[in-house]
Amino acid sequence: MSRKEYVLFDKETKAFVYGYQTNAIQRMLDFDYICKRVTPSISAIINPSRAGIHKAFWGSKEIILPMYKSISMAAKAYPEADVMVNFASHRSAFETTMEALAEKTIRTVAVIAEGVPERQSRIMSATARKLNKIVIGPATVGGMAAGAFRIGNTAGTIENIIASKLYRPGCVGFVSKSGGMLNEAFNIISRNSDGISGRAGRRRRVQDHPGPERRKDNQAAGCVGNGDLLTGPAGQRSVRPCRRQSRYS
């Protein structure tokens, strides 16, 4: 990739969306537009069913996003895209995530699906760590950097994002164990401060707890949700075992 020091989510982040999730795609584009990004954050859509184009809105204008049938074809066409938002079901989430991690240009994969077996989650975690890459999830709504980049449906509707001042970085760092209360917390903080600063992410299952080195590496002044990222680059993690019982045990 062109950027020498990898930054997790900024205004230059480009992503693939795996799965034809039209609502999530439009919400990502709407967020990009109100954040005043120069270009959309979505480089292409990966749809195993068919290739072609997808029409979406960029503000009041209509734009066209390319659609590919495979991850390898999309990665070859858009090497600058280093994030994949994986909307595959729990039946194929593991295979598609492993395929994405095998691509040199893809550095981060967000796995949205619930119900991914624990063993497969651990294999994804170990693979990401070995390849110096990042996996968010599984069972995640996604993540976001205020004023820069948003994964899928994170933070809800565009009205809620505007009301919570998430279209630009604020001054408050926030850590929460409750993903379900995330939007309410955004709203409360925005009413009493300048808004959220830095990164935001949430998921249901936490396997690795990040230490201060990991948070500093990602410039995560405000990490929001059920812990932080699932896995990160080797040698940059300060791991503390999660005491919460796994839903799959």
Q: Kindly report, residue by residue over 73-117, the tens digit of the pLDDT.
A: 999 999 999 999 999 999 999 999 999 999 999 999 999 999 999
Cα torsion 18, 122, 2, 155 to 10°: value is: 50
Inside any domain, residue 225: no
The verdict on residue 234 lying in a domain is no
Listed residue (87, 84, 121) closest to 205, CA to CA: 121
User: What are the structure tokens assigned to 13, written together?
Assistant: 């982040």
Within a domain: residue 5? no
State how far the Cα of 245 lies from the Cα of 249, in Å rounded to an integer: 7
Task: Indicate the pTM of the whole model.
Answer: 0.78
Total domains present in the chain? 1
Task: Look at residue 155 in the predicted model and tell me its pLDDT.
Answer: 86
Query: Whose structure tokens read 């699906």?
Result: 113
* Distinct helix (H) and strand (E) counts, the chain: 7, 10
What number is the average pLDDT over the span 155-170?
89
On the question of pLDDT at 131 being above 80, the answer is yes
Structural domain boundaries, residue 88: 15-217
DSSP 8-state symbol, 249: -
Phi, psi (degrees; rounded to nearest 5) at 23: -65, -45
Tell me the per-residue pLDDT of 23-75, one tens digit each, with 9 for 90 and over: 999 999 999 999 999 999 999 999 999 999 999 999 999 999 999 999 999 99
| Residue 226 falls inside a structural domain | no
pLDDT tens-digit readout, 169-226: 888 877 666 666 778 888 898 999 888 875 544 444 434 434 444 434 433 333 333 3
Using an 8 Å Cβ cutoff, are 232 and 107 in contact? no
Residue 69 has what DSSP assignment? Answer: S
Looking up residue 25, the CATH number of its domain turns out to be 3.40.50.720
pLDDT-derived band at 11, boundaries 50, 70, 90: very high
Task: Give the separation between CA 186 and CA 159, rounded to whole angstroms.
Answer: 12
